[in-house]
Amino acid sequence: MDNMQENTEDSIREFILDDHPCVMAQSLVADDNLTIRDYKKITNINTPSALLEDLQAYLESIDEEDKKFQTFIATFEEDHYEDELDFENSLWKLLSDLNQLDPKPWDKNTSADPSSSKFSFSLIGDSFYIVGMHPNSSRKARSAPFPMIVFNLHSQFELLREVGRYTRVRDIIRRRDKDFQGSINPMLEDFGTSSEARQYSGREVEKDWKCPYGFDKKYV
């Protein structure tokens, strides 16, 4: 690992461990179950293909028998966004580009329709809950040291539900988020209540907000 990558990882770990409200993220740092890759800029022409390749390798490395949570973080250290809408537009453009490159059909367990309450972003046959972060986010928990996108496997949240831990973990995180900022993130809702696409960028989107892109299911 070169010094730049090491500094990137140290910055992320410090950000998460510094009283961050997400206890799941803190446990990931403690268990050293973060995979972090930097792509310089979201808009670089080779970013989507490089990210897709790394995500495929990440998925192949996961032991399905291992019940510990794992997550993948894509960082963009050379990017800067003055406001939340600019970041949101770049995030969705990248997700659309990834979808166009994805050789596999959409995860059959979730919907490809961003307006559906069953939507969860699919890549390489697996759905991910996406968490966008950048320094100018209005939510302190999303104010990462540089722009980054967290790819959390949807199946891991379903596992929490199966073992009866989801509600307890959710409530702890929301309580800590309220203590951290004085209010609960107004965009947070349980999967199946409304489209999780509204949560991805971290911005408090309008009631009539619609995802700027549609996604190809790639039936085979």
Q: Report how far residue 32's alpha carbon sits from residue 68's, in angstroms, rounded to the nearest whole number.
A: 10
Q: Does residue 210 sit within a domain?
A: no
Q: Does residue 48 sit within a domain?
A: yes
In 3D space, the residue among 208, 204, 212, 211 whose CA is nearest the CA of residue 115 turns out to be: 211
Q: Does residue 77 sit within a domain?
A: yes
Number of domains in the chain: 1
Report the relative pairing of strands 71-75 and 34-38 from DSSP bridges.
parallel
Q: Does residue 204 sit within a domain?
A: no
Q: Does residue 217 sit within a domain?
A: no
Q: Does residue 212 sit within a domain?
A: no
Q: Report how far residue 14's alpha carbon sits from residue 34's, in angstroms, rounded to the nearest whole number.
A: 13
pLDDT value for 171: 86
Q: Does residue 119 sit within a domain?
A: yes
pLDDT value for 2: 65
Domain range holding 139? 3-199
- Give the DSSP H/E element, type plus range, for residue 157: helix 154-162
Q: Does residue 109 sit within a domain?
A: yes
Question: What does DSSP assign to residue 141?
Answer: G
Residue with tokens 């966008």: 132
In 3D space, the residue among 164, 134, 139, 138 whose CA is nearest the CA of residue 150 turns out to be: 134
* pLDDT per residue rounded down to tens, the chain (220 residues): 566 677 888 899 898 888 788 888 888 888 888 999 999 999 999 999 999 999 999 999 887 656 578 899 999 999 999 999 999 999 999 999 999 999 999 999 999 999 999 999 999 999 999 999 999 999 999 999 999 999 999 888 787 777 777 788 888 888 888 888 888 777 776 665 789 999 999 999 999 999 999 998 876 5
pTM above 0.85, yes or no: yes
